[in-house]
Structure 1
């Protein structure tokens, strides 16, 4: 096979990149090791920044989102038995959208197929070759047959455990990694959320987050040990903790738990995000703790930049945007890491903390809800920094 851009990974990054390239008249082929059904039903993040919401609409893949998503003006911070509302629209003129990552994937897959795009699912033994030259290629196995894609560029959108990042020449990458001493026990439940907007709760027993996937389906989290066994958390224990950490500020309705799991928390960045004609995007290059809701948004920002760089190359043979891709993306990535770490350290109980640390956290939360300047900083980062 022959195409202009070979894309590995059919998550939000790979699919959106292919869609943006199509709009620019650039051909691409996506390969994915999972099935279409798997990627369209894999529950992941569900919060979209304002600029990303606008991009989905402007590029023609936001119609269903506009009908079914929930659009929030802000969120709530809960501590000391009180809940405080931050109105992002009032503070920075932006809001957020609640729409599951799997729904974004469904919309993008449908659009790529409608536009005649090629997505090859359930491939094996993927490898990248000759990306240090002007004739890179991708090989893989499909239905027992070896196949090859010759292309001009390769986009590694294959996630943290993908093959693209490990394919960089030895010694060319620097890794920045931090593992947190806790995780999130998350449930998906057939019950309405306690509020129509998100609630971030600080409690001496640990952090809790009250979010949603729809007005009748809640996505709820409690802080647990990083290596916690989910079997230690029967349904009754989970609901008890959720009630306690909500601190009586809202009514929490219980319902059938549809999904349950523990997610460890980490921060990770690799630099650079490119070598030769191989470019990384999304989780292949960076991971953030979910506290700041930046994962999918950073991935979409990466491919927006990469699509612009590739468009400039094909339209006018300019290479400056391609050469500056890593530097430009990492500036946003590190701001996303900073904000995610900041949100994480404010709300979570860390091992070996002393009473001083708890009082400091409470003082910072009190400062946020009583200072317009502090609230504006949070709102600006949460709803999305200006996009390049």
Structure 2
């Protein structure tokens, strides 16, 4: 089998002093490609619209600190995270850009949020009062955005409750509510009807608030999918996560938006073996050779991010060719049928998703093998896997999400 859409050329070799030479598996992160994608998205969105780089979940598993720095340097105006402690980690890393906390903030976290200059999401008066109290203690303004639930039915205030909440919030000294926003349920679907309905609901909520004297300097609604498909939802800011990595949530990318692949998940061959007909591999011997077969043992398993559901059904790239995963994926190791791939030996690089020379196994296809989405795949890569950051094809940092740094 061969990888689709690209040629069969082997990947360029890594440098002799490349630190990945000693790693069993790693995520390759191309910071130049990420910067190019930020620039491309900025060209795509409505002029005057800000770009918030969504770096929740450790930057979708790539490492929030490095992704944040690269996105901001490339022109993103602010960052967005899911939780207060994610904002804390970025502040501790020395990042002072505006940070919006998208999910619920507990009133007990208000003091920390104000101290760190985090903008939190409001959906109730209790948090608003806690923010006002914290603002008084720290002698500074507390920052918040009001979120309206227009149909996702997950987090936010119901549209009919937005005006009463705005009245309550306006009476709290020291609390500045500078933003109004919502989130879409199905902007990545081919049927646009529900997203268009949500846009109308948000517009009506905005108009109702404005008619009562409550206006907001910044309104935002578009995630990555809506950034691509709904220009009317660009408003004052778009919140882009997956798109930064060159991946569309729907699998479709307009040809005018020339995004680059940012991330590849790689591992090294730890053993090459010859199996005779009838011999099996792995736990349960769920795969057996029908004829003499050459097998590669790869030093990555489900504890690293090679999903166990790929057992006997997934594929990987090796020397620019697509090969099947055989047997059960174990915690630390995976086996591949390399019978038809020459030149494989201990240390040869395997790519589970991403680019291998001119061959590519993109995140969407990798995810579809186990009926999931690219977001899930990226977040499943564990903290023990090294993140290798490159600029100009050279390694600039190696780190793990468990806090250890190799270089």
Range class of TM-score, shorter chain: under 0.3
Greater Rg, structure 1 or structure 2?
A: 2
Give the TM-score taking structure 2 as reference length.
Answer: 0.26
Higher relative helix content = 1
What's the TM-score, normalizing by structure 1? 0.27
